[in-house]
Structure 1
Amino acid sequence: MVCDHDMVISLEKPGTDGLDEAVDALREWQSEGVAWQLHPGDLGWFQRSGTEATAAAVRIWRRDGRILAIGLLDGADLLRLTTAPDVRHDEDLARRLTEDVIAPERGVLPSGKVSVEAPEDALIQDLLPGHGWRTDEPWTPLRRDLTEPVKAPDLRIETIGPDKGHVWAGVIRASFDGSTFTAGKWHAMTAGAPYTDARCLVGYDGQGEAVAAVAVWSAGPGKPGVLEPMGVHRDHRGHGYGRALTVAAAAALQELGSSSAGVNTPSSNVAAVATYESGGFQRLPEVRDLTRDA
């Protein structure tokens, strides 16, 4: 634990025992109309690397015992950061976050080129540029409202259980260049606390081939859910399977009680943005990471 006794706010690594507390806080913070940056599903997807690796990648900031902010080191050079909605403009928290992010010795981000994702309305967005940070490439958030019934797609969809984790893993591996996703990683992912509110879906073509896969993550009834990841097998693209699975994902989140379905994709990935829009998702204003070049 890193703690400056001259300050009220402390920074800590939660350990495996503290992961559930972080997930619970992230669930609590999700609501419609609040800028979303880190979702319980993000920790759930990271859980594919195992509980110990996930705990090692999480950072928690507290004041008087209350969790104010949570960060996920999504790789060595990217911190995905969010705060409780009511402290987005808390000056003490913003200063502490900035100090911890810019100083490699604090154990949040290393030296060299690194990036931070933070809510657009968080005060840290105003402070980091004063320390040499700049905006990076844009991302496009998309959202589908789930208050109206979602019509099932014309594609056979299966909810995957432990006996077919290898099928889901195989489609994801064939959907992303360089992916090393395995059945073992699927089992590690689904063993984590966030998967309590999640589902893995696979779409099959008319010949019974698994052609697309998606994971959906709820944050609880009445709260926004997310898709992470969604992929179409490289040998089965161009047939509308991505659109169909996107609709199926929205329907699954609706069954889980989610108020909306959300996804983020690089704006440069025009095909992905178009796929989500064809599945009833609406494009929201672009967001950008903050990056330090050295």
Structure 2
Amino acid sequence: MAIEMSRPGVDGLGDTVRVLAQWQHDGGLVQVHPGDVGWFWRFGAERTAEATRTWSRAGEVLAVGLLDGAELLRLAFAPEALQDEELAQQVVDDVSAHERSVLPEGKVYVEAPMGALVQDLLFKDGWESGEAWTPLRRDLGAPVPDPGVHVEVIGPEQAQEWAAVLRASFDGSTFTGERWHAMAAGAPFADARCLAARNEEGEAVAVVTVWSAGEGKLGLIEPMGVHRAHRGHGYGRAITVAAARALQELGSSSVVVCCPSSNVAAVATYRSAGLEQLPERRDLYRNAS
């Protein structure tokens, strides 16, 4: 049977998220997590569906792509399909031909799992290694210590406050309370928690969202931020520890996060919270022709 690329549409997003959840396991870090789709959902269900691609054979989804911006495609494969030659070649053909409405002309990027055949085929097709990313992971089989600060689960009534801290954590962030509500309306948020850490004065100083993929599966941190006016007090470590505890309560086997290797401070923060730094990954890029 031939490989078919399609868009799930709004009605099919829930099924796509469930497929991604099945692929999360401790033996390897899958490039796209249900939480990545959930975090993108802040832009609404229609834009999320527009940014999602699936590759299937005989009705079985074998690969999922998420356009994280117009020029970057993040790819996940079913664990048993990482070396599927027909699938890998079809994905390469689809991402390389702009008329197939995956990636545009010009300089574009692909993130794919390490060890996937699609990486080898992209290299052969002239793609090159790009930015380095550092994944970090913590096993949740052992007890996670108390974070040492007051942490609360955020609901709709605190959405504006949570959003304000996130905006103050990232230069150029446009996150709003409305986007929080859009994110919370998405299918992946059923297995997610938004947390906020407060200082002794009761101010929200750090925030995080954690995404579970189900019992015994990898859980994801996306995003985590510390208000720029409250850095240097250990709040990043504390909210990360709280994130690990929340995922443990949700049944996750481990917590993972991935950040640019150039963000040395973020890597140090996650390590201070007990996450193990794993070997770097690199995305692939194709120069403008």
- Indicate the TM-score class for this superposition, using the shorter chain for normalisation: over 0.9
Where 2:55 maps in the other structure, the secondary structure is strand
Larger mean CA deviation between 131-140 and 70-79 belongs to 131-140
Corresponding position: 1:207 with 2:201 = yes
Question: Contact (CA 8 Å) 2:30, 2:77: kept in 1 or not?
Answer: no
Aligned residue identity for 1:26: L
Residues 57-107 of structure 1 deviation map (CA, whole Å, 9 limit, x = unaligned): 000111000001000000000000011000100000010000001110111
Aligned residue identity for 1:204: R
Give the corresponding residue for 2:113. Answer: 119
Gap runs ≥5 in structure 1: 1-6
Question: CA separation in 2, counterparts of 1:130 and 1:83?
Answer: 20
Question: CA separation in 1, counterparts of 2:124 and 2:254?
Answer: 36
1:93-172 counterparts in 2 under 5 A? 93-172=87-166
Where 2:238 maps in the other structure, the secondary structure is helix
Where 1:175 maps in the other structure, the secondary structure is coil
Where 1:154 maps in the other structure, the secondary structure is coil
Q: CA deviation at 1:270?
A: 0.4
Aligned residue identity for 1:63: R
Q: CA deviation at 1:34?
A: 2.1
Residues 2-52 of structure 1 deviation map (CA, whole Å, 9 limit, x = unaligned): xxxxx7110101110010111000001111112320000000000000000
Question: CA separation in 1, counterparts of 2:6 and 2:12?
Answer: 10
Q: TM-score, normalization: structure 2?
A: 0.99
Give the corresponding residue for 2:19. Answer: 25
Q: TM-score, normalization: structure 1?
A: 0.97
Corresponding position: 1:38 with 2:29 = no
Residues 236-271 of structure 1 deviation map (CA, whole Å, 9 limit, x = unaligned): 001000000000000000000000000001111000
Give the corresponding residue for 1:262. Answer: 256
Corresponding position: 1:284 with 2:278 = yes
Please provide the CA RMSD for this pair. 0.7
Corresponding position: 1:83 with 2:60 = no
Give the corresponding residue for 2:243. Answer: 249
Give the corresponding residue for 1:178. Answer: 172
Residues 173-211 of structure 1 deviation map (CA, whole Å, 9 limit, x = unaligned): 110001110000000001000001000000000111110
Where 1:290 maps in the other structure, the secondary structure is strand
Question: CA separation in 2, counterparts of 1:8 and 1:219?
Answer: 29
- Matched residues, percent identical? 62
Where 2:251 maps in the other structure, the secondary structure is coil
After TM superposition, the runs of 4+ consecutive aligned structure 1 residues lying more than 6 A away are: none
Give the corresponding residue for 1:4. Answer: none
Question: CA separation in 1, counterparts of 2:203 and 2:18?
Answer: 37
